[in-house]
Amino acid sequence: MGPHPQDHPRQHAGSETIGIAAQLYQACSELLDSATSSLKQSTVLSKLERRAFVRIRQSLFLWGRSHNAAGAQLDLLLQESRPIQQVVVRALKLILKRVAYGMLFLCIFFAVAYPTFAQNCYLSS
């Protein structure tokens, strides 16, 4: 159970039409999706850690779905209030940074400890 990767519309081609919050949310979702699919086949993380990671992804997915963050609706609403827009964008930026650095850390760690896993990750991407 969980959000299907197809639920996150990948709108790179039309990314000029959507706002910064939607683009950040899509980037976070895509990173989490690819990380989940990579970690699903591996045994480097314990079952508890994998479950925690999936739960994080589900939380972000539910938040984005409730506000239609992947589309233009969220940015349209955030235009009404500059302070709320700044806070939301900052939070999404922080999540993206953490996910990216976390994945980078995992890739470096696994590249040293598990070179075949890193190679599989690279090939699957």
| Interface ranges with other proteins (CB under 8 A) | 45, 48-49, 52-53, 56, 59-60, 63, 66-67, 74, 76-78, 80-81, 84, 87-88, 91-92, 94-95, 98-99, 101-102, 105-106
Closest approach of other proteins to the CB of residue 113, in Å: 13
Given a contact cutoff of 8 angstroms between Cβ atoms, the answer to whether 50 and 106 are in contact is no
Given a contact cutoff of 8 angstroms between Cβ atoms, the answer to whether 53 and 36 are in contact is yes
Give the whole-angstrom CA distance, residue 74 versus residue 88: 10
Closest approach of other proteins to the CB of residue 54, in Å: 11
Closest approach of other proteins to the CB of residue 107, in Å: 12
User: Which residue lies nearer to other proteins by CB, 12 or 47?
Assistant: 47
User: Which residue lies nearer to other proteins by CB, 11 or 54?
Assistant: 54
Q: Which two tokens stand for residue 5?
A: 């990767």
Give the whole-angstrom CA distance, residue 125 versus residue 114: 17
